Amino acid sequence: MAHPLGISASTGPASASGESTPAAPTGPAAAGTGRAAWHGRVAALPLAYLAGLVVLAFAHPFLPAWRWTAIHLLLLGAVSNAIVVWSAHFAAAVLRTPAPDRRRAEAARLATLNAGVLAVLVGGTVDRPWLGVGGAALVFAAVAAHLVGLARRLRRALPARFAVTVHYYLAAAMALLAGVPVGAWMLVSDDRLRPRLLLFHAHVNLLGWVTLTVLGTLLTLWPTVLRTRMADGAVHAATVALPVAVTGLVLLGVGVLAWWRVVAAAGLALFTLAALSALRPALAVARVRPPYAFAGWSLAAAATWLLVALAVDAAMLLSATDPAAAADQFHAVLLPLLVGFVAQVLIGSLTHLLPMVLGGGPGPLRRRTALLERHGPQRVAMANAALVVFALPTPSFVRITTALLILAALVQFLVPAARVLLTTRR
């Protein structure tokens, strides 16, 4: 973006009122601002953590805490890097603020974040809890700096129609800042409060840090992916949904910490209502212009799995007799949330965004998109069918087979994504 009063290069499709939906600049403009080079470097971060999941899939028999490692490779590694990078990108787009000439502050935040992530992963995997606590402190510092940077950008920007997206990002960052200290406490403590801390840590991070970020981004990303106009009332729906979601998240967090099941269930109900409200305009858009490629299908499937996970979570909270039972049952929520929702949102979003921000003009954009979208119907169908079967009470050999199919779908994304980054650098 060349000037705070306008978006250079291209914007997304016009909204229902005729206003443009901000999107990633493409072609020479992206390269001219250094954005292509920046994203060519930082896009490797989430891909590296996703590749770590593939390695872990084969090495897990040798790691007693492999489930914990897998969860944090995805959430703390791949997803947190993607959120820090892309929320800054979208904040600049929706606020129409200029891209920085230098990215030293962003680079420092990412360096701090990844030093912390690696320390947490190593500390938790090899049972060095204080190393993990130190890593959590670095993650906290990086996200706090990210929060301050977003708040400054919002304060200095002119009024913008889509500024509510940045408000979602601010709320999401505050949620992670609440969840990280609890996670660090769990590394060094093993007392009777652990099940409550686990429930708080998981809900605040998954529903706050991840889901709020996704809901705020889909406001403009979804119509851009479908190349259509934004639904009437989409901005209003997102604006109304945010305080409801935050209120629900606070009640849910307090409810699981104090083990007030009714309060926790009420909070989850409010959060679900907010998610439905924010996603309703996206459904209206999809009825007019259904998803036609991998990115759209992946995002649509992810939204469906989110609603499934919220329903399972509500049933779990209401049926559990105590926090320990609720923590034991939470694995049933993790599967649809992590694989169905989080992973598919991440892969679908990167499939759409990476070709756009790497510059080079229409020709390279089409080639990159075709490469990342290759075998899209097969990948979406295989991953989601395998996930459905995996979630059912099936024999172990069936679960192993379906897990391998999900892993194959991940590899089918990672290989072309790596090719896109390597060919762009050359």
Does residue 33 carry a pLDDT above 50?
no
Per-residue pLDDT, 19: 44
- Per-residue DSSP letters for 176-216? HHHHHHHHHHHHH--STTHHHHHHHHHHIIIIIIIIIHHHH
Amino acid, single-letter form, for residue 197: L
Give the domain range for residue 310.
Answer: 31-425
Name the nearest CA neighbour of 207 among 285, 295, 293, 268: 268
CATH of the domain at 129: 1.20.210.10
Does residue 408 carry a pLDDT above 90?
yes
Q: Report if residue 17 sits inside a domain.
A: no
Q: pLDDT category, 101, cuts 50, 70, 90?
A: low
Q: Which residues pair with 20 in a beta bridge?
A: 14
- Per-residue DSSP letters for 50-74? HHHHHHHHHHGGG-TTHHHHHHHII
Instruction: Give the DSSP letter of residue 159.
Output: P
CA separation for the pair 132, 138 (Å, rounded): 10
Does residue 190 carry a pLDDT above 50?
yes
CA separation for the pair 404, 392 (Å, rounded): 16
Q: Report if residue 10 sits inside a domain.
A: no
Does residue 179 carry a pLDDT above 50?
yes
Q: Report if residue 312 sits inside a domain.
A: yes
Written as six digits, the tokens of 257 are 């910490």
Instruction: Give the DSSP letter of residue 18.
Output: S
Task: Tell me what percent of the residues of the chain surpass a pLDDT of 70.
Answer: 91
**Long-range CB contacts for residues 381-386, cutoff 8 Å, separation at least 24:** 382/408, 382/409, 383/344, 383/409, 384/301, 384/340
Written as six digits, the tokens of 147 are 């929060």
Give the number of other Cβ atoms within 10 Å of residue 208's Cβ: 26
Written as six digits, the tokens of 173 are 């960052």
Q: Report if residue 388 sits inside a domain.
A: yes
Q: Report if residue 47 sits inside a domain.
A: yes
* Contact assessment for residue 85 and residue 353, using Cβ atoms and an 8 Å cutoff: no
pTM for the whole structure: 0.90
CA separation for the pair 322, 192 (Å, rounded): 12
Q: pLDDT category, 35, cuts 50, 70, 90?
A: confident
Q: Report if residue 283 sits inside a domain.
A: yes
Q: Report if residue 5 sits inside a domain.
A: no
Q: Give 344-396 pLDDT, tens digit per residue.
A: 999 999 999 999 888 778 888 899 999 999 999 999 999 999 999 998 888 98
Distance of alpha carbon 293 from its chain centroid, rounded?
A: 20
Report how many helices (DSSP H) and strands (DSSP E) the chain contains, helices first.
19, 0
Q: Report if residue 14 sits inside a domain.
A: no
Give the number of other Cβ atoms within 10 Å of residue 110's Cβ: 21
| Domain count across the chain | 1
Mean pLDDT for the stretch of residues 246-267: 95
- Per-residue DSSP letters for 211-270? IIHHHHHHHHHHHHHHTSPPPTTHHHHHHHHHHHHHHHHHHHHHHHHHT-HHHHHHHHHH
On average, the pLDDT of the chain sits at: 88
Does residue 60 carry a pLDDT above 90?
no
